[in-house]
Amino acid sequence: MSDEEEDMSEYGVSLISIAGPSKHDCGYCKGTDTSISFGIWAHALTCSDYQDMIDRGWRRLDATQFNITKSQKKILNKFNRYVKGDCTEVVVKKPSNYVQVKSLCDLIHASEVEEENSHKLKIELEPSSFTKEKFDLYCKYQVSVHHDTEDDLSESGFKRFLVDSPLKADKDYGSFHQKYILDGKLIALAVIDILPKCISSVYFVYDPEFSFLGLGKYSVFREISLVQEYHARFDDLKYYYMGFYIDSCPKMNYKGQYAPSDLLDPVNYQWYPIDQFKKKFETEKFVTFDDTKRTGPPGWLNPTKVTKKELENVFILVGDGQIAPIIYVVKFQTSSTFKKSITDYVCSVGLELAHKMVIVGPPGSGKTTYYPANDNIPYPCAINISDLITLEDTMNELSLGPNGGIMFCVEYLLKNMDWLTDKLKQLEDHYVLFDFPGQVELFTHHSAVKDILHGLEKIDYRLVAVNMVDAHYCTDPAKYISVLLLALKTMIQLELPHINVLSKVDLIESYGKLRFNLQYYTDVMDLNYLLESLNEDAFGSKFKKLNEALCDLIQDFSLVGFYTLCVEDKDSMTRLQQVIDKTGGFVFGGLTEGNESIMLTAMKAGYHEDVSDVQERWMEDDDFEY
């Protein structure tokens, strides 16, 4: 997450990105395009919001009313006998008036408390974390049970799957690992989420050498018992969630064996006893107890009934830690596709959740307007990289997040430069704009973009790098210095004629007041004045020496300067295009640009822009300090 997203999440706000609808083959029912979902990527998620979210399409068991059957009790007794050291099953004939006195908790913990046991069993509950021991157990389980290959498994994949969590943990709730330790060895690991009203079972792995103990089934009783123990402390926490239920699939319908279980009606979101559903499943594939006619997906709100007033309470993170109603975003007013994606999101999660969670986007998604750079491009596109590879498919197929997905896509483009060069041959004698994602690592640390650009130079493309930066960063000294460093690193990394641009200059004062004249920021004048501002801040003062060193570094190079841009102003656009042409050497015909020219253009040498006119037009007449 970015710094501003981190700040927002610290206030207990859920931050999500919209992935949109998708269809996939179902691994359980073996159907084609039968797994239909509306995707949401959680950057930070409160436990209460997650509770509300999973109450829209799951099954649950009331653990306080759980009735253990005779066959289920045998599983517990078999496990306890093994720990005790007696594997023989003793059949005892019970009288007709026999009454079971041991509770589930008593049976569960019997294997832990008896001192005469041959084996020592420990059950430890801890916040989700990575250890080599956990990863090795996971690999052993996946290879033996799910027939994965060792090449399919990696520490990073394990962390993404079962360790990293967007849940904002507190003392009692969050994502946890329940470790089964037998004689000092980790033999099983349960991944669970503890939420305000339930414990949700996420995944379970075990050592195949101990499969004879029925650890998968045993873990269910262990987790139901844990719910009962939590219920003694929290009245509302009394349910055990095992995920989706598919009646026709043996791998999924076993969940109905634990009573009393309820299923959530997929249309009206009311809970019904599972037996009522099972009767209907005998004759129907899709079961609902709601007779209301619907036109959209089950459980969705009717998009035609979602009012403007209701959408006013759907918020988006617009930058600098500020949020705004989605309806005031420009693209919401101008793009029917964008408006539909927001409306679909609201209809899928419901008004209550949509009003609590804040929308953000990954790097390159256009957070200021939340109009993704890799989707719904607002201009005719001569060459669309999504014809070669798409971010959504990459994230789904490789289980990557937005950052990793973008990295992979760019590397894939580099490996397929022949595809790009063939496309470019159709655009000879054209002025070509290469629009890259805004993820800074692509230009500061990763080599793929640099290699792509140098590959284009080899086929006689004269390139100019244009680094666009939101002008509102000038209102925050720390962020402005960060932008300077990123610009400097990008210039050095790409080794191209380079222009830095402060965009959206017309919106700068909607984010805050400038401490100095605009020219101070475009020409990057004496940064010691900014140090004074940083040292006045309680947080910034902690890094006084670091701030001084960074400012000295920037000024020692003296390479970074900025042009200004307002896309609503045609003159501003024309001036910038002239600068780009000159920087690329078109003004001079076939002259070759050297390294000296690269640096001069970045420093604005030879270009005269009256910044005072820009300031006068777009900013109030304030008394600046400099």
Predicted pLDDT of residue 319: 62
Looking at the fold, whether 227 and 79 belong to one and the same domain comes out as yes
Give the whole-angstrom CA distance, residue 113 versus residue 178: 18
Residue 504 lies in a domain: yes
Q: Which residues of 401-412 are buried (b: 16+ CB within 10 A; e: fewer)?
A: ebeebbbbbbbe
Distance CA 589, CA 582 (A): 10
| Domain termination residue (choose one: 375, 394, 422) | 375
Task: Indicate the SS3 state at residue 445.
Answer: coil
Q: Is the domain of 239 the same as that of 108?
A: yes
93 & 160 share domain? yes
Q: Are residues 475 and 608 in the same domain?
A: yes
Residue 271 in any domain: the answer is no
Do you find a cis peptide bond into 260, omega within 30 degrees of 0? yes
State which amino acid sits at residue 494: L
Res. 232: pLDDT tops 90: yes
Mean local confidence (pLDDT), 44-48: 91
- Alpha-carbon distance of 238 to 228, in angstroms, equals 7
Check pLDDT > 90 for residue 53.
Answer: no
pLDDT at 554: 82
114 token code pair: 């008896």
For 325-371, give the DSSP string: EGGGSHHHHH-HHHHHHHHHHHHHH-HHHHHHSEE---TTS-TTTT-
Residue 527 is predicted with a pLDDT of: 81
Cα distances from 431 to residues 382, 414, 428, 496, 585, in angstroms, run 11, 22, 9, 17, 14
Residue 524 backbone zone (phi > 0: left; psi -120 to 50: alpha; other: beta):
left
What is the phi-psi region of residue 85: left when phi exceeds 0, alpha when psi lies from -120 to 50, beta otherwise?
left
Distance from C-alpha of 118 to C-alpha of 82, rounded to nearest angstrom = 8
Residue 547's Cα: distance from chain center in Å?
31
Q: How far apart are CA 86 and CA 117, in angstroms?
A: 9
| pLDDT band at residue 321 under the 50/70/90 scheme | low
| Cβ within 8 Å of residue 71, ≥6 positions away | none
Please answer whether residues 201 and 192 qualify as being in contact, where contact means their C-beta atoms are separated by less than 8 angstroms. Answer: yes
Query: For the chain, give me the number of helices (H) and strands (E)?
Result: 25, 16
Range of the domain at 8: 1-43+299-375
Backbone conformation region of residue 29, classed left if phi is above 0, alpha if psi is from -120 to 50, else beta: alpha
Structure confidence at residue 532 as a pLDDT band (50, 70, 90): confident
Q: What does the block give as tokens for 205?
A: 């792995």
The answer to whether residues 536 and 470 belong to one domain is yes
383's torsion region: left (phi>0), alpha (psi -120 to 50) or beta?
beta
- The answer to the question of residue 454 being in a domain is yes
Task: Note the pLDDT tens digit of each residue in 169-216.
Answer: 777 899 999 999 999 999 999 999 999 999 999 999 999 999 999 999
Assess if residue 266 is contained within a domain. Answer: no
pLDDT of 471 strictly over 80 = yes
- 38 and 69 together in one domain: no
Q: Structure tokens of 218?
A: 């045993």
- The yes-or-no verdict on residue 83 having pLDDT over 60 is yes
H/E stretch holding 261:
strand 261-264
pLDDT score, position 207: 97
State the residue for tokens 């019904």: 272
- Domain membership flag for residue 262: no
Predicted confidence (pLDDT) at residue 625 exceeds the cutoff of 70: no
Domain stop point among 431, 461, 491: 461
CB 38 within 8 A of CB 344: yes
In terms of domains, do 2 and 85 share one?
Answer: no
Q: Are 227 and 63 in contact (CB under 8 A)?
A: yes
pLDDT for the residue numbered 483: 87
Contact (CB, 8 A) for 317 and 360 = yes
Task: Please check whether residues 101 and 237 belong to one and the same domain.
Answer: yes
Say if 497 falls within a structural domain: yes
At 369, the pLDDT band (50, 70, 90 cuts) reads very low
Question: Do 394 and 495 fall into the same domain?
Answer: no
Residue 235: what residue type? Answer: D
CA dihedral 439, 442, 448, 450 (to 10 degrees): 120
Cβ atoms of residues 43 and 15 within 8 Å = yes
In the listed set 434, 461, 488, which residue is the last one of a domain according to the structure?
Answer: 461
Task: Calculate the alpha carbon distances from 484 to 62, 468, 524 in Å.
Answer: 57, 12, 9
Q: What is the pLDDT of residues 340-368, one digit of tens each?
A: 889 999 999 999 999 999 988 544 444 44
75 and 87, same structural domain?
yes
Same domain membership, residue 474 and residue 432: no
Strand pairing report for 322-325 and 315-319: antiparallel
Q: Which helix (H) or strand (E) holds 468?
A: strand 465-470
Residues 6+ apart with CB under 8 A from 610: none
- Positive or negative, the CA dihedral 305, 309, 314, 318 is positive
**Domain count across the chain:** 4
Any domain includes 288: no
| Rounded Cα distance, 321 and 394, in Å | 30
At 1 the pLDDT is: 57
Long-range contacts, stretch 351-355, CB < 8 angstroms, 24+ apart: 351/301, 351/306, 351/310, 352/52, 353/49, 353/52, 353/53, 354/313, 354/314, 355/313, 355/314
**According to the model, what pLDDT value does residue 365 have?**
40
Average pLDDT over residues 479-499: 88
Report the CATH number at residue 185. Answer: 3.40.630
In a domain, residue 406? The reply is yes
Q: Are residues 572 and 449 in the same domain?
A: no
**Of 109-123, 467-481, 488-502, 597-611, the least confident:** 597-611
Whole-number Å distance between alpha carbons of 412 and 388: 9
- Mean local confidence (pLDDT), 426-451: 85
Predicted confidence at residue 103, as pLDDT, reads 83
Between CA 116 and CA 119 the distance in angstroms is: 9
